[in-house]
């Protein structure tokens, strides 16, 4: 697993509740924070659903604690409470990876909250219902579900070089890639840090059908160095079948930092226009030994 890609902290919007479960919501907030999860609360000062909707969009998911009072009524009556408004707003969020968690801490559906039956019947994609009674178990379930990341899906391409870069460096990477493609057959991957996609399986599979792997760095050196070390380790370390090479644009790279890679792989720090030539030299040296 490429841990350097997926270290974004989980951020949860803890929606308002009806008064009968306010104490449970407070306790849940404490459990979430102790689990290392950032908790975002509705803006009490604004008291505005649009403000809270914007806060939700900054989060990975929302949590709604269900009590005895109806917060769900498709005809509209149940949305009169702040808890109901938050549930309606969360259900309308269309953000990649965003999920809505409904927690019924009583674990029961009785005459006081029969509305839960209706709510469960109308649950849509990315909405998760939980009737567990323990907040600790609920938080662990939430964290487990949110850690499931979509995997990068793409057709593998037999190539000489697998060229990987951070999406932050896409402008200069595109220039280097264009020059490199004049010399070799190249497969490329742009890693988007704002996505929760798991690239590890695809990277591992694509490397196996290439002769060398190249990690390119320009402005994103802080990402590229730990990524390169992790990739080297996951690729088999010293016994790897596919050699790795680090190529950094000298205009924005720290030479001393890149020297940290000397025990892991060969590297170059040069003008971006010269990088394709250095990669070719490394490629020729590797293929002569194969």
Tell me if 152 is assigned to some domain.
Answer: no
Is-contact 237 256, C-beta < 8 A? no
Same-domain check for residues 187 and 62: no
Q: How confident is the model at residue 2 (pLDDT cuts 50, 70, 90)?
A: very low
Are 137 and 165 within one domain?
no
Whether 154 maps to a domain, the answer reads no
Structure-model confidence comparison of residues 122 and 84, the more confident one:
84
Decide if pLDDT at 152 tops 60.
no
CA 21 to chain centre: 32
Q: Predicted confidence band at 3 (pLDDT cuts at 50, 70, 90)?
A: very low
Indicate whether 85 belongs to any domain.
yes
pLDDT at 202: 87
Q: Model confidence over 210-255: pLDDT tens digits?
A: 999 999 999 888 888 989 998 999 888 888 889 999 999 998 887 7
Instruction: Evaluate whether residue 155 is within a structural domain.
Output: no
pLDDT at 194: 61
Query: What's 283's domain CATH number?
Result: 3.40.50.1440
DSSP lists the bridge partners of residue 38 as: 11
Residue 6: pLDDT band with limits 50, 70, 90: very low
Predicted local confidence at residue 215, as pLDDT:
96
Both 257 and 182 in a single domain? yes
- pLDDT of residue 79 exceeding 80: no
More confident position, 95 or 123: 95
- Whether 232 is in a domain gets the answer yes
Q: Are residues 139 and 7 in the same domain?
A: yes
The more confident residue out of 94 and 76 is 94
Any domain includes 120: yes
The residues near 279 (Cβ < 8 Å, ≥ 6 apart) are 161, 180, 212, 214, 245, 247, 268
pLDDT confidence of residue 45: 76
Q: What is the CATH number of the domain that holds 81?
A: 3.40.50.2300
My answer on whether 52 and 118 are in the same domain is yes
Name the residue among 65, 66, 48, 81 with its Cα closest to residue 13.
65
Q: For residue 279, what are the domain limits?
A: 161-289
**pLDDT at residue 1 greater than cutoff 60:** no
Where a domain ends, among 115, 146, 177? 146
Residue 255 neighbours by CB under 8 Å, 6+ apart: 269
* 72 and 135 part of one domain: yes
Report the domain count for the chain.
Answer: 2
Instruction: Identify the sign of the CA torsion 32, 33, 34, 35.
Output: positive
């Amino acid at each position: 697993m490429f841990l350097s890609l997926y270290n974004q902290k989980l951020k949860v919007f803890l929606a308002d509740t009806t008064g009968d479960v306010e104490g449970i919501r407070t306790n849940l907030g404490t459990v979430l924070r102790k689990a290392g999860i950032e908790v975002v609360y509705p803006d009490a000062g604004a008291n505005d659903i649009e403000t809270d909707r914007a806060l939700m969009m900054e989060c990975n998911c929302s949590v709604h604690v269900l009590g005895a009072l109806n917060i769900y009524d498709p005809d509209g009556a149940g949305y009169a409470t702040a808890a109901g408004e938050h549930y309606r707003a969360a259900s309308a969020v269309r953000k990649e990876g965003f999920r809505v968690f409904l927690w019924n801490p009583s674990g029961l559906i009785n005459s006081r909250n029969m509305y839960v039956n209706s709510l469960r019947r109308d649950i849509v994609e990315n909405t998760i219902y939980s009737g567990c009674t323990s907040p600790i178990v609920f938080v662990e379930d939430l964290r487990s579900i949110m850690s499931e990341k979509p995997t990068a899906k793409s057709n593998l391409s037999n190539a000489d070089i697998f060229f990987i870069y951070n999406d932050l460096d896409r402008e200069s990477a595109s220039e280097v890639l264009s020059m490199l493609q004049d010399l070799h057959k190249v497969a490329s991957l742009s890693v988007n840090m704002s996505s929760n996609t798991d690239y590890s399986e695809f990277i591992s599979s694509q490397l196996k059908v290439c002769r060398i792997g190249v990690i390119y760095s320009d402005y994103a050196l802080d990402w590229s160095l730990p990524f390169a070390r992790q990739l080297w380790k996951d690729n088999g370390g010293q016994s790897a079948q596919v050699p790795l090479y680090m190529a950094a644009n000298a205009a924005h790279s720290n030479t001393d930092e890149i020297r940290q890679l000397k025990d892991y792989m060969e590297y170059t720090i040069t003008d971006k226009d010269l990088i394709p030539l250095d990669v070719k030299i490394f490629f020729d040296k590797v293929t002569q030994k194969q």
